Amino acid sequence: MSQSHLPRVGFIGAGRLARCLALAFSRAGYPVTAVASRTPASAARLAAQIPGCAGYDAPQQVVDAADVVFLAVPDDSIGTTAHTLRFEPREVSAKALVHCSGASPVELLAPARSQGAAIGGFHPLYLFGGEAADLERIAGCSVTIEADGALKDTLTALAVALRCHPLSIPPGGRMLYHASAHYAASFALCSLAECVALWRTLGFAEDDALRALLPMLAGTIETARDKGLPNALAGPVSRGDTGVVQKQLALLEGLGGDHAALYGLMSRRAVALAQRRVTPPAAIGDIAEVVEESLSRSLNQAAAGASVK
């Protein structure tokens, strides 16, 4: 498709996500025509890096200058911003308002739809660092799209232009999708933090612990990519080492706090993964029983502690 037939793209918001997407769309040949931000200097800086792009103070100026307007603002500002925008009746057939949140419903953009504009969601499943490297690293990631008709086709083409994989999500599914994605992002960091905290009791400094753990995590991810989740599982559950699992749970119960509960819950998930193998460990039933017994004790202990407080 020639550039003259590509939609003009604009951004309301000039943060990390907007900077990456705007620059990437421009590199892919899309005309990125307008950027607005609460901080005019931020909009001006981003616009200066994109040929034919203007930086504006007011979000409405982006609507007037673009066909597909991306709302790259905090979730709490999506609905309020959408209520301030006006779409000219003679232009609405070619206009769309799209937010970039993973959690917020597309219905927050209903004021634009009521004026005849198309609405949708476009959420890159990527942690933006705000660096130039984002432009290359985003390739290969997935973009979750919620839209209908022509807008869905347009957003899918934009995702492909980023060299990303488009995913479709049904209406009403964004909160569950976003909550569960934390397990592959923030909660992976929380797992590392739990390990660092436990290793600190053995005298390991955090830097030394991370130096040891991060290559193991990277190898786990690569193995999962190559072999799938059940076959990437390692450790005592995957080997059927009932005695090791039992001793580790008892040790963590003795530490107090929620260490044993967290370990038990994650071990429950590990048992489920091991059971998905073509040949599960022979002792997997015994391990499951040990895990559930420990969980019963640790969760009851946590509940009792909470009631005392």
Residue 89: pLDDT band (50, 70, 90) is: confident
The class level of CATH for 3-173 reads alpha beta
Instruction: Measure the CA angle with vertex 83, ends 79 and 88; round to 5°.
Output: 135
Given a cut of 80, is residue 103 above it in pLDDT? yes
Q: Please state the rounded mean pLDDT for residues 271-276.
A: 97
- 21-78 pLDDT tens trace: 999 999 999 999 999 999 999 999 999 999 999 999 999 999 999 999 999 999 999 9
What does the mean pLDDT of the chain come to? 94
Instruction: Enter the pTM of the model.
Output: 0.87
Instruction: Measure the CA angle with vertex 190, ends 72 and 300; round to 5°.
Output: 125
Q: Where are the domains of the chain?
A: 3-173, 183-299
Integer CA distances (angstroms), 285 to 57, 121, 242, 255, 268, in order: 63, 44, 9, 26, 11
- 281-302 pLDDT tens trace: 999 999 999 999 999 999 988 7
Q: pLDDT at position 2, please? A: 47
- 161-198 pLDDT tens trace: 999 999 999 999 999 999 999 999 999 999 999 999 99
How far, in Å, CA of 59 to CA of 61, rounded? 5
